[in-house]
Structure 1
Amino acid sequence: MSNHPRRPGAAVIQIRDVTKTYDTGTPALDGLDLDVRRGEALAVLGPSGSGKSSLLNMIAGLDKPTSGSVTVDEVRVDSLGEAALAKYRRARIGMIFQFFNLLDDLTVLDNVLLPARLARMPRAAGRERAAELLARLGIGEHARAFPGRLSGGQRQRVAVARALMNRPPLLLADEPTGALDSAAADDVRRLLTGLNADGQTMVLVTHDTALAEACATRTIELTDGRISKAAAR
């Protein structure tokens, strides 16, 4: 969560008239306007090439719009330089990936501690926070294990713990159930639903309609870089 108070329901993400054009000339995003409010779980659906990944990359500051503005947690992300973007991601964004992106030569605990070390969190406070998250997510007994010894569902729980380490106002998930079997995917759906119930704001890019139905408070569908369908639950 954010380190400073915010009005309940205030917009955490404000995307205004965002267009992104690559070398092909066809816009990946085409004049997109979108607000995501505090406490929402927004699921972004759409076919491959619809602009889902481009949208997530804009919010994360991994890419910049060709035109328009992206504001997250009161920060104009599209105007930041590289050093400021790195600081922004450490402080305000937690990211969960389809293929976990864990470091196999580090233990579960050390993987979870990485964001704290990058943010220069005091060592004792970091270890306390990591232990709390691992226990909360039901994988505390695996703290000293290496990721390769864990199941896919357990590795995704480690990735979620790492993403939450610095208490980010916003959690971004890119196909978080895409690499999991059905039982593990159900487990991650329940986990994300519980996090949102506790107040975590999140944006989920997914092809998994079961994830959207279970977890999302609102769903949008992108087609050719525009919102073609929107529904609240």
Structure 2
Amino acid sequence: MATPLIELTDVSRRYDGGPPALSEVSLTVAPGEAVAVLGPSGSGKSTVLNLIAGLDHPDTGAVTVSGVRVDELGEAASARYRRATIGMVFQFFNLLDDLTVADNVVLPARLAGMARGTAHRRATELLETLGVARHARSHPGRLSGGERQRVAVARALMNRPALLLADEPTGALDSAAGEDVMALLDDLHADGQTIVLVTHDLALARACATRTVQLADGRIASDTAAEPVR
């Protein structure tokens, strides 16, 4: 059996003395899996994503990604880990409006020390693959929601991350653009990309994920493997 890419072991997290956001959660994700984490608001979905990304730390338990104990990293080491290992896609894109599309996509590579020419060639390749190369010199505000999400995916893939994390990636899109992004994520997974996404959208989970993890009150209520709808 393959060594897990992600391993959460007895992870608990509580905020400001409230009820546990997560309570003794254990979860593994193998390389190449596409896992959808489902659940109502407050169930702990975003906390799982933040712990995997090293944006938050558990009160107890261990978070290991690609052999790294993420829960033990300091702020600077966490930033280096994200640049090297993680690509992130957000509901509201998080693109920088004062930069062009190309410069948004190049940014993670430049922060990681990639040579300018190499970074721009990689960005051009991604924008062409994702169908938004014609917007390379535009600013994000001139693009549709679906186009901006494609740019955000290109930026997330810039450093060839082992893991793509997606937080409600279709939540700010209309149905047509949402279906477009679903197809894109499904294609990425078919090419071998490991994906963990959190969503309220059952259609997204069915379209993109080969496994669904249902959270309720900070605990795993179900963990089900399923063939994606293609």
- Report whether the alignment pairs 1:65 with 2:63: no
User: In structure 1, the residue corresponding to 2:107 is in which secondary structure?
Assistant: helix
For 1:148, the aligned partner's letter is: G
> Is 2:121 the counterpart of 1:128?
yes
Match of 1:140 among 119, 133, 142: 133
Unpaired runs of at least 5, structure 1 = 1-7
Q: 2:38 aligns with which of 38, 45, 49?
A: 45
Q: Root-mean-square deviation (CA), in Å?
A: 0.8
Structure-1 residue corresponding to 2:5 = 12
Q: CA deviation at 1:10?
A: 2.8
What is aligned with 1:33?
26
* Contact kept in structure 2, 1:9 and 1:39, CA below 8 Å: no
Match of 1:173 among 146, 151, 166: 166
Give 1:21 deviation, angstroms: 1.1
Shift in Å, 1:114: 0.6
1:61-82 deviation digits (Å, cap 9, x = unpaired)? 0000000000001100000111
Task: Tell me by how many angstroms 1:210 deviates.
Answer: 0.5
* 1:198-213 alignment, distance < 5 Å: 198-213=191-206
Q: Determine the C-alpha separation between the residues in 2 that align with 1:209 and 1:78.
A: 30
**Runs of 4+ residues deviating >4 angstroms:** none
Corresponding residue SS for 1:59:
helix
1:224 aligned residue: 217
Deviation at 1:23, TM superposition (A): 1.3
- The structure 2 residue matched to 1:98, chosen from 59, 83, 91, is 91
Partners of 2:185 and 2:197 lie apart in 1 by 10
CA distance in 1, matches of 2:115, 2:140: 25
Partner of residue 74, structure 2: 81
Q: Distance in 2 between matches of 1:154 and 1:13?
A: 30
Letter in 1 for 2:199: T
Q: Does structure 1 residue 24 correspond to structure 2 residue 11?
A: no
Contact residue 20 and residue 28 of structure 1 kept, 8 A: yes
SS in 2 for 1:18: strand
Q: Which runs of 5+ in 2 are unaligned?
A: none
**Separation in 1 of the partners of 2:140 and 2:167?**
20
- Normalised by the size of structure 1, how large is the TM-score? 0.96
Report the TM-score when normalising by structure 2: 0.97
Corresponding residue number in structure 1 for 2:181: 188
User: SS of 1:62's equivalent?
Assistant: coil
- Tell me how far 1:25 sits from its aligned partner: 3.2
Distance 1:219 1:195 in 2: 17
Q: Could you tell me the percent identity over the aligned residues? A: 68
Query: Partner letter of residue 13 of structure 1?
Result: I
In the TM superposition, residue 31 of structure 1 has moved relative to its aligned partner by 0.2
1:22·1:28 contact (CA, 8 Å) conserved in 2? yes
> CA–CA distance in 2 between the matches of 1:177 and 1:25?
30
CA distance in 1, matches of 2:201, 2:120: 34
Count of equivalent residues: 226
